[in-house]
Homo-oligomer: A and B are copies of this chain.
Amino acid sequence: MAKEKKVEQITDMEVDFAQWYTDICRKAELVEYASVKGFTILRPYGYAIWENMQQIMDAEFKKTGHENVAMPVLIPESLLKKEGELVNGFAPEVAWVTMGGSEELEERLAFRPTSETMFCDHWSRVLHSYRELPMLYNQWCSVIRWEKTTRPFLRSREFWWQEGHTLHETAEEAKAETEQQLNCYADFFEKVLAIPVVRGRKTDKEKFAGAEATYTVECMMKDRKALQGATSHYFGDKFSRAYDVTFTGRDNKLQYPFQTSWGSTTRMIGAVIMAHGDNNGLVLPPAIAPVQVIVLPVAQHKEGVLEAAGALRDRLKAAGIRVKMDDSDNSMGWKCAQYEMKGVPLRVEIGPRDLEAGQCVLVRRNDGEKTVVALDALEEAVKEQLASVQQGLYEKAKKNLEEHIYPAFSIEEAKQLQEERGGFIKTMWCGDVSCEMAMKEKAGMSSRCIPLAQEHLSDVCACCGKPAEKMIFWGIAY
C-alpha cells in the first residue's frame, strides 16, 4: 500500500510564484498555519533549519565579544512612549496585554515589537563607568507586529529573530559596530545561505524608526523581486538621552553613550526558498541543511544492500556529516521526490550492481549531476560534492542578481525596465523624499538602498532632473 503513496505536486514557479512559494512552505513541512490568524508554527524541519542558522550566527556574534541576554517580553506603555519616533513607527502594529489573571492592568503592556526601549531602561540602571563599555548584547526571541496581511516567513504576526543591542563610549565605535554587524550579515548570506547581497544604506524614508542610519543587505529572489535580508542601525545618543542612560567618562564627567541595534529573522528561510528553490521543491545550501545527505538503498531486499547502505551512513556520520538513511518500504520514486521536495543537497544511492563494482552514486539536488564514486573514496567525494552544491547555488544566485540590475535615467524608463525585466533598477537620486514617493507612485518601486559600492551613472536625479550625487537601487520588495 505504502509503495503507491503519491508524490504531491507543487505549483509551477513560472505559473504562480506566490503559490509555488506557499506550496513549498507546506509540502516541505517547514511551517503550518496556527489557529490564531496571522500566526504560524515552525515545524521540526523548518525549525531545524532555523537552529542551524542560529548556531552559525551565534558563534559569529560571540567571536566579536557579544553576549546573549533575555529581556522581558512585555514593555510598559509609558516606557515605550519615551522615544517618540520609535513608538510612532511601531504603535499601529503593537499587541497589547491589558489583563493579568482576572484583573485589569493599571497600565497596558506592549508585547515587544523590538526591544531598544527595554535595553535602554536596563542600561539606565546598570551602567556607571566608561570601564563597563562597550556593552555588546544579543537576544534570540520572538516578537509580535500586528500585520494586516501575512505570509509564511516573510510577514507574520509573530516571528523569531535575534536582536543585537550595543552601547559604546564614542560615536566612532558605535558606527564601527554598525558596519561590522552589517558585514557579519553579508558574510552569513553569501557564505552560509549562498545568497549574494547588495550592501547599502536605507533612505530616511525607509530607515528604522528612531535610527540615525539604517544599513541593509538586499537580496534578489528568483522572481527578481527584492528581499531585505537583515539590517544594522546606528542610533547616535538619541535613545540614551531619551532614556537617561549615562556613564562617567574618562574625564570624570557624565556622558551619553552611543548605541546600535541589528536584527535578522526567520524570513531568511523565506529568502533561501525563493533564492534557490525550483519546481521540485526546496533546495537547501548544505551549510544549513538539517539533512545534508540522504542514503537510499536501491533494491534493498537484495542481499547485502541494506547492510552496505547502513555502513555508508555510519561512515558519513563519523565524518561529521548530517546524514540519514531511508530504508522504508516507500518506492524509490517517492523517496527521490520526497527528498528533493525537502531540499536535501545530496543523495547517495547504492544497489546490488554498485555493490559488485565497489561503488555508489552521488546525485546533487541543485543540478541533478550524478557522480559514480569508489566506496573507498566516499567521505572525500561527499564533502567535495557538498562544497560544490554550496558553491553552485551561490554562483547561480549571483548570476541572477548581476544579470538583473539595470541602469535607468527617468522614472518612465525605470518603470519599463521593471515591468519587462524585473530586478533592481539603479538610478542617480537627488536625496529628496518626494522623488522617492514619485518612483513609488509612478513605477511601483520602493528604494531598496543606496549601495555602499557607488557608481556614477549621470549627474542628475532620474526623478526630478536636479543635480544628484548618489546612486540608488529601486525594486519591488517582499
Residues of A whose CB lies within 8 Å of any CB of B are: 2, 32, 34-36, 39-44, 47-48, 50-51, 67-76, 79, 91-102, 108-109, 111, 118, 121-122, 125-126, 131, 137, 141-142, 144, 146, 157-158, 160
Contact = CB atoms under 8 A, between A and B. Distances in A.
Contacts of A75: 36
A71 B122 contact: no
A72 B158 contact: yes
B76 A36 contact: yes
B92 A34 contact: no
30 contacts: A32-B122, A34-B71, A34-B72, A34-B122, A36-B72, A36-B75, A36-B76, A41-B72, A41-B122, A43-B69, A43-B126, A44-B67, A47-B67, A48-B68, A51-B68, A73-B111, A73-B142, A73-B144, A74-B144, A92-B101, A93-B101, A94-B100, A94-B101, A95-B97, A95-B101, A95-B109, A96-B97, A98-B98, A99-B108, A100-B157
User: How many copies make up the complex?
Assistant: 2
B41 A70 contact: yes
Contact of A70 (B69, B96, B108, B160): B160
Ranked nearest first, the 4 interchain pairs of A and B with the lowest CB-CB distance are A44-B67, A39-B72, A42-B70, A100-B146
Nearest to A266: B70
A34 B73 contact: no
A125 B32 CA distance: 9
A35 B79 contact: yes
A125 B40 CA distance: 13
Contact of A76 (B35, B47, B70, B137): B35
Contacts of A72: 34, 36, 39-41, 158
Contacts of A98: 96-99
B68 A97 contact: no
A395 B67 CA distance: 33
B121 A34 contact: yes
Contacts of A34: 71-72, 118, 121-122
A40 B44 CA distance: 30
Nearest to A143: B73
Given A92-B101, A94-B101, A158 B41 contact: no
Contacts of A95: 74, 97, 99-101, 109
Nearest to A51: B68
Contacts of A44: 67-69, 137
Given A41-B70, A96-B98, 17 more contacts: A32-B125, A34-B71, A34-B118, A35-B121, A40-B72, A41-B71, A44-B67, A47-B70, A48-B67, A51-B68, A70-B142, A73-B144, A73-B158, A97-B97, A98-B98, A100-B157, A101-B146
Contacts of A99: 95-96, 98, 108
B32 A126 contact: yes
A142 to B, nearest CB: 6
Nearest to A100: B146
A160 B122 CA distance: 19
A96 to B, nearest CB: 4
**Which of A69, A72, A94, A102: most chain B CB closer than 10 A?**
A72
A91 to B, nearest CB: 8
Contact of A36 (B32, B36, B74): B74
A424 to B, nearest CB: 32
Nearest to A140: B140
Contacts of A111: 73, 97, 111
Contact of A42 (B47, B48, B69, B92): B69
**Which of A2, A76, A95: most chain B CB closer than 10 A?**
A95
Nearest to A78: B35
A426 to B, nearest CB: 36
Nearest to A79: B35
A99 B77 CA distance: 13
A116 to B, nearest CB: 14
**Which of A42, A51, A99, A100: most chain B CB closer than 10 A?**
A100
Contacts of A158: 72-74
Contacts of A2: 131
A98 B142 CA distance: 19
